[in-house]
Amino acid sequence: MKYFLISLCSLGLCTIVFAQDTEVHLFDIKNTDGKLAITNHRNVSNNSGYDNQPSFYNDNILTFVSTINSQTDIATYNIRDKVSNFINSTPNGGEYSPLKIPNSQDVSAVRLDKDGKQRLYRYDFNTGKSTELIKDLVVAYYTWYDKNTVVSAVIEDGDLNLYVSNITTGENKKYASNIGRSFHNIPNSKLVSFISKEDDKWFIKSLDPLTGEVETITQTIPKVEDMCWLIDGSILIPTANRIFKFNPKKDTRFSILKEFEDDNIQKITRIATNEIGTMLALVSEVSPEGIVQKQLEACNARDIDAFMATYTKDIKLYNFPNDLRSEGQEAMRNSYKGYFEGTPDLHCKILYRIVTGNKVIDHELVTANGNTFKAVAVYEVENGLISKVTFL
């Protein structure tokens, strides 16, 4: 995962130093005589770095956040024209969780500034100009109930608590503690769903933001909090490479809607549908092979920043079997930076590659300083980044 600031470690809002390599994927949802099928896959972010938190601005525009050159801003993808753009540019901070504001062309997003300030802002869709919406609360995740009302998870003493805020009057009311990051308007109702974490059991619950009344809908799949709703009242929950479906009015248990075979869709997190339930967006880590290939390409380009972006903060390098030769980003960067600068003919060619689980074994033909030799490296990938390399 990314490496976070202080209390944000377990909450998922990120600094922009070491970026998890994730992608936003888009699908169509086909309904044939009541049977749903997820089809027409396309990677709409296609960016080396952190792309996450998709939401549908309308039926033709998808918003998400994207990190380029260590800066995270609000991106859009025009589905019809297959064109990506950025709404804003915030050099002193990064945006997360963009959503369209009801009855407006503008969007909102949580902004984490480099000085540690974290607030919910409004962004002009055309100019990117921002305005603070809720001054007194550290909002982590949220949804809009209506144009004046925000339901959010607020950081308090390291926990996430449920608040309802009126952005016109400035009134904030707390209704629940120890909640998750998923908030959604429940179709054909005046309720909002949220995840309640109670001991070892997590529940999907509903909230009436006007009265504060809370009711339990169902127990969620253990330790999974990302979800969304279809227009027919069905819940979709992703875990690993599967999407599960459950309709509280009809079903007694979750069933598998889709199991993905694509290596790059094996660790699904965020998930969203458009209002009419014809499209699905989700986020997944790049496959272990994909991240190892990116580091190889960065190595051949002698691009130290792109190279180091594929490794964890506490990366460990070993000589086989367990002789530790380097630990941490700083030590590795210092070693490889000089090597890249002093080896203009550096090039690694893969002779053979084996992928097993989170491990990638590369048999390489290396050219360096006029010499050619063979080498073997075993890469171990955790949470989308290389955490360990063993050289044979």
> What are 308's two structure tokens?
């180091």
Q: How confident is the model at residue 19 (pLDDT cuts 50, 70, 90)?
A: low
Which pLDDT value is given to residue 266?
A: 87
Closest by CA position to 184, among listed 202, 168, 207, 163: 207
Task: Specify the pTM.
Answer: 0.84
Percent of the residues in the chain that have a pLDDT greater than 90, as a whole number? 83
Task: Give the pairing type, strands 61-68 and 71-78.
Answer: antiparallel
Residue 148: pLDDT above 50?
A: yes
Helix (H) or strand (E) holding 337: helix 329-342
Q: For residue 43, name the pLDDT band (cuts at 50, 70, 90).
A: very high
pLDDT of 283 reads: 96
59-76 per-position pLDDT tens digit: 999 999 999 888 999 999
Asked if pLDDT for residue 306 goes beyond 50, the answer is yes
Ranges of each domain in the chain: 6-286, 289-391
**In terms of CATH architecture, what is 6-286?**
6 Propeller (2.120)
Confidence grade of residue 10 (pLDDT, cut at 50, 70, 90): very low
- The CA distance from 45 to 60, in Å, is 15
Query: pLDDT per residue over 327-366, tens digit each?
Result: 999 999 999 999 999 999 999 999 999 999 899 999 999 9
Portion of the chain with pLDDT greater than 70, in percent: 95
What pairing do the DSSP bridges indicate for beta strands 192-198 and 201-207? antiparallel
The residue among 132, 151, 129, 149 whose CA lies nearest residue 140 is 151
Q: Which pLDDT tens digit goes with each residue over 198-209?
A: 888 999 999 999
Spatial distance between the Cα atoms of 181 and 227, rounded to a whole number of angstroms: 10
For the cut 50, the answer to whether the pLDDT of residue 152 exceeds it is yes
At 9, the pLDDT band (50, 70, 90 cuts) reads very low
89-139: per-residue pLDDT in tens? Answer: 999 999 999 999 999 999 999 999 999 999 999 999 999 999 999 998 999
Average pLDDT over the chain, rounded to an integer: 92
Strand order in the sheet with 255-259: 228-229, 235-239, 242-246, 255-259
Average pLDDT of the residues in 214-240: 94
* Record: fold of 289-391: Nuclear Transport Factor 2; Chain: A, (3.10.450)
